[in-house]
Amino acid sequence: MKLTGSKILIECLKEQGVDTIFGFPGGAVLNIYDELYRSQNEIRHILTSHEQGAAHAADGYARATGKVGVCLATSGPGATNLVTGIATAYMDSVPMVAITGQVATPLLGKDSFQEVDITGITMPITKHNFIVKDVNKLADIVRRAFYIAKEGRPGPVLIDICKDVTAAYAEYEPKSPQELPEVPVRVDEKCIDEAAEAINKAERPVILAGGGVSIAGANKELFEFATNAQIPVTTTLMGMGAFPGTHELFMGMIGMHGTKTTNMAVSESDLFIAIGARFSDRVISNVQRFAPKASIMHIDIDPAEIGKNINVQYALEGNIKKILQLLNERVKKKECTDWVRKINEWKELYPLKYPQDDKLHPQYIIERMYELTKGEAIITTEVGQHQMWAAQFYKYTSPRQFLSSGGLGTMGYGLGACIGARIGRPDKKVINVAGDGSFRMNCNELATAVEYKLPIIVAIFNNHALGMVRQWQQLFYGGRYSSTSLDRCTDFKALAEAYGAIGINVTAKEEVDEALNRALASEDTPVVINFEIDKDEMVFPIVPPGAPLSELIEE
């Protein structure tokens, strides 16, 4: 049957199981929006306040559900407003398809109204991208885009569609989505045997679980591996929830703001096993002095990551789930070891801490958030000190529970991601932990949350400063606070109410539970809680840039 390009696009989205699109209309995508109107009972369109919010919402939806997130924008500024969200998804391996409108094919390359080369702009931050100039190729391109976004190491794909293509007719034949091939194990039995032997012989092993564990659905295999072999576990920021944060073998996060126990364990370990992690600079800090006594074992789906940032003695490339299964068949079961006992001693000696007084401390707020939600909420974050407190003091016990911009560090990410996560997981309470600086960037998405009656919670840790940058200025720049004090008169409670949300101010410790309980009780209205905290609150521990992990500042 012959259909228009816009109808073909919508039919292909239905083929792929798309039930939600986040977007903002414009001239180049009018034909697509017309078809969306006709298909509104099958595909829900969420109108965000800004295209960047649409990209972050699609990202949060994808992270929370494991499905491909979809966002839609018009040509020119609409498309460029997606760029930060696309880059965020790319850095954190999030499956997303971004669809943009483009000027009609005769107008390409003529500096036409709202024309930009969005495929050229996004080439370095997508797994692949397409410009569609022929309606006869549209269906295959859409299908291929979804396949690429999900296949192997996931990531964003962009489809740029010329406006005349959306109006032209072509033959359409429905097809089922192409099945993803099982990711192979790209190492031989001998390498698996050697790795297992190294694990069995190790006296002080450490496991680092990254975001790749959750993406691969390998959480159960990781748990069996760690508990049977009695190996202490740490995670990257992206790996939160890959291993239960309540388990006795869990040491806390690694790296710049990792626990002292973790960073000491890494420095003393004789075998460091990284699983689905990419050895970012925030994890390893000083490359020459990272895990100086250890052999390095790296298990990852992406061969480009193995050996990229650090030398590896045991390289296990391919399907993380399968590799862990093969190792579990070979690794010897152990009882509690001297090494685990030493780790537990360190955990007692060096817990994460903050002043136990009557002041309103951010760490206390996160702890109460954990208790009152019974540890079951999905937490999204902006980027900064509040992000680290959320990582340190909320115990994540399942994958896809902590959504944060790890690789790109995108301020303004959290609110859009919170909206996407709540739409994807309406069965969960979703809380966005924000700083006042980050929240200002995309606070306009409160209008979206109100319009769609989403009972999300925004917890603003308001220190009237760009807290993390200010902390660095205090510790490493002689206290010269250049452009980091936010002496502004924004009334966040009134701002929330202006959007139609519920606004709450909290200035004292004894007000925390009442505010959180009120927010958690909301069924169809967003709640913004403005927590007034001291601008001199800091994130500890911290490893100074370029220092080894063992040389951290504790307070």
Domain ranges of the chain: 2-171, 189-349, 362-532
Please tell me the CATH code under which domain 189-349 is placed. Answer: 3.40.50.1220
Selecting among 7, 127, 150, 163, the annotated active-site residue is: 163
Q: What is the DSSP letter of 270?
A: S
* pLDDT tens per residue across span 296-312: 999 999 999 999 999 99
What local confidence, expressed as pLDDT, does residue 297 receive? 98
Long-range pairs, 491-499, Cβ under 8 A, ≥24: 492/436, 492/439, 492/460, 492/462, 492/528, 492/530, 493/528, 493/530, 495/443, 495/446, 495/528, 496/446, 496/458, 496/526, 496/527, 496/528, 499/446, 499/447, 499/450, 499/526
What local confidence, expressed as pLDDT, does residue 298 receive? 98
Q: Is 114 a catalytic residue?
A: yes
Selecting among 113, 171, 248, 376, the annotated active-site residue is: 113
The answer to whether domain 2-171 has CATH 3.40.50.970 is yes
Q: Which amino acid is at 442?
A: N
* pLDDT tens per residue across span 511-551: 999 999 999 999 999 999 999 999 999 999 999 988 999 89
Q: Is 402 a catalytic residue?
A: no
Confidence of residue 449 (pLDDT cuts 50, 70, 90): very high
What local confidence, expressed as pLDDT, does residue 555 receive? 82
Alpha-helix runs per DSSP H in 305-435: 320-330, 338-349, 362-372, 385-393, 413-424
* pLDDT tens per residue across span 359-401: 999 999 999 999 999 999 999 999 999 999 999 999 999 999 9
Tokens 């509690």 correspond to 336
Using the predicted structure, report yes or no on whether residue 479 has a pLDDT greater than 90.
Answer: yes
What is d(CA 414, CA 460) in angstroms, rounded to the nearest whole number? Answer: 11
What local confidence, expressed as pLDDT, does residue 429 receive? 98
Closest CA to 125 of 410, 548, 355: 410
Question: What is the average per-residue pLDDT within 28-43?
Answer: 98
Tokens of 351: 């817990």
* pLDDT tens per residue across span 64-91: 999 999 999 999 999 999 999 999 999 9
What local confidence, expressed as pLDDT, does residue 336 receive? 87
CB of 86 closer than 8 Å to CB of 98: yes
Q: Is 113 a catalytic residue?
A: yes
* pLDDT tens per residue across span 155-174: 999 999 999 999 999 999 99
Using the predicted structure, report yes or no on whether residue 422 has a pLDDT greater than 90.
Answer: yes
User: Helix (H, G, I), strand (E, B), or coil: what is residue 78?
Assistant: helix
Question: What is the average per-residue pLDDT within 202-213?
Answer: 98
What is the CB neighbour count within 10 angstroms for residue 48?
29
Assign domain 362-532 to its CATH architecture.
3-Layer(aba) Sandwich (3.40)
Q: Do domains 2-171 and 362-532 have the same CATH topology?
A: yes
Selecting among 14, 15, 67, 114, the annotated active-site residue is: 114
Question: What is the average per-residue pLDDT within 416-422?
Answer: 98
Tokens of 78: 């609409």
CB of 78 closer than 8 Å to CB of 22: no
What local confidence, expressed as pLDDT, does residue 27 receive? 97
What local confidence, expressed as pLDDT, does residue 198 receive? 98
Q: Is 439 a catalytic residue?
A: no
Q: Is 468 a catalytic residue?
A: yes
What local confidence, expressed as pLDDT, does residue 19 receive? 97
Distances (CA, A) of 82 to 10, 49, 71, 112, 420: 20, 12, 9, 20, 15
